[in-house]
Chain A
Amino acid sequence: MINEKVTKYLIIVFLSLYIVLGIVNLFVFNSELSGVGQRWIVSINGKTGFMNEVNPMTLIMSFAIMIGLIIFASTVKFRLVPEKKRQTVFELLFEFYWGIVEDAVPNPKYRKPVFVIGVSFFLYVLVSNLLGGMPGISVSPLSNGKVSVEMFTDTWYTPTSDLNVNAAYAISVLIISHVFSAHSKGVWKWFKGFFEPIIFLLPLNIIGEIAKPISHSVRLFGNIMGGGILVLIVSYMLKYFLIPVFLWGFFGWFVGLIQAFVFSLLAIAYIGSAVE
């Protein structure tokens, strides 16, 4: 562990660095709300449309977070007698989630996969939301087709502020829940579940199933993206100097932690309600 003196010096160094960068940003960069809500989008084959464009920052940050999580997970060694604090923290987290999964999933056969899915979603969404509360490299497109890269004027790009990522996860949760439902009840009984009270309620059941991933994904997207844009709009008078620290702390860390928990909890609840 780092002793207290080193911690104190690190805090002083970080604060002075932050203040110097804030003063530099105050005078060097112009405070215009030019790139708000804009994404750096690259077309693969020259066409526009849903299937022909990619979001490079989303891909880069998603894979960086995944690789970072895998490397971090390989350093955590689980022993019978805990030696490091890291193991204790992860055991607390896993026990908490195991309690939730035991309450939500009635069939013990499906508890382990649901637990793995829920904790994976929690760790990924938590890390990407916390990156939205730290100042870092921000990339925004310019009007002439080029890209501007700025250091420490905005937070890191978070993959969860892109609706494509959230929608992909929510749709995968929907598919997983239906596959588990068909596997546990049998395909015929699962199919009959759509005509549940009477046969005329089929459209209502289908709409109810489609509404699940929409609300699941837009909740996370609205929180992270709305928080980021709110920070930009509130603080562009003082160009990232004083106010954003508190707002980044609130929207990035507090809201991000709660929304990561809500996302994984709803994933567990959706899968658990589908499994018999």
Chain B
Amino acid sequence: MENYSIVEALKMVLTSGNMLAWGLYYMGKFVGTGICMGIGAIGPGVGEGETGAHAMDAMARQPEMVGSIRINMLLAMAVAESTGLYSLVISLIMLFVLP
């Protein structure tokens, strides 16, 4: 018995499996992609909303600091976005890279 990697095992399922295996495989792939992207978008949304809200507060309190606050707000948003991007990368791998 040889050892197969995950991708080779999936290819074997797709070439020699029956229709039920196909259906289950694609169902798992698409449902997994949707769940990954949907849940992964919650955290960055909350984080960016908090960042924007507090930046607005600070801008209203100190209108002369608008320039530096805006730059730092965009920077913090870009860093807070990264967890959502990890789930985006994983869902893209599930959609396009897997056979």
Contact = CB atoms under 8 A, between A and B. Distances in A.
Interface of A: 36-38, 215, 218-219, 221-223, 225-226, 229, 258-259, 261-262, 265
Interface string B75-97: 10011011001101100100111
B75 A261 contact: yes
Interface string B56-81: 00000000000000000011001101
Contacts of A262: 75, 78-79
A215 B97 CA distance: 21
Contacts of B89: 218, 221-222, 225-226
A265 B71 CA distance: 13
Interface string B7-37: 0000000000000000000000000000000
A122 to B, nearest CB: 13
Nearest to A38: B96
A213 to B, nearest CB: 13
Contact of B85 (A36, A37, A38, A226): A226
Contacts of B96: 36-38, 229
Given A218-B82, A221-B89, 9 more contacts: A37-B96, A38-B96, A218-B86, A223-B81, A225-B89, A226-B89, A229-B92, A262-B79, A265-B75
B90 to A, nearest CB: 10
Nearest to B87: A222
Size range of the chain B interface in the assembly: 10 to 19
B75 A37 contact: no
Secondary structure type dominating chain B contacts: helix
Nearest to A214: B86
Contacts of B92: 37, 225-226, 229
Given A36-B96, A37-B96, A258-B74, A226 B88 contact: yes
B19 to A, nearest CB: 24
A37 B95 CA distance: 9
Contacts of A218: 82, 85-86, 89
B97 to A, nearest CB: 7
A176 B45 CA distance: 34
Closest 8 CB pairs of A and B: A222-B85, A37-B96, A219-B82, A226-B88, A222-B89, A262-B78, A258-B78, A222-B88
A262 to B, nearest CB: 5
Contacts of A222: 82, 85-86, 88-89
Given A215-B82, A221-B89, A226-B89, A37 B97 contact: yes
16 contacts: A37-B92, A37-B97, A218-B85, A218-B89, A221-B89, A222-B88, A222-B89, A223-B85, A226-B85, A226-B88, A229-B92, A258-B75, A258-B78, A261-B75, A262-B78, A265-B75
B52 to A, nearest CB: 14
Given A36-B96, A37-B96, A37-B97, A259 B78 contact: yes
B73 to A, nearest CB: 11
A175 to B, nearest CB: 22
Nearest to A261: B75
Contacts of A223: 78, 81, 85
Contacts of B78: 219, 223, 258-259, 262
A118 B75 CA distance: 16
Contacts of B86: 218, 222
Nearest to B89: A222
Contacts of A38: 96
Contacts of A265: 75
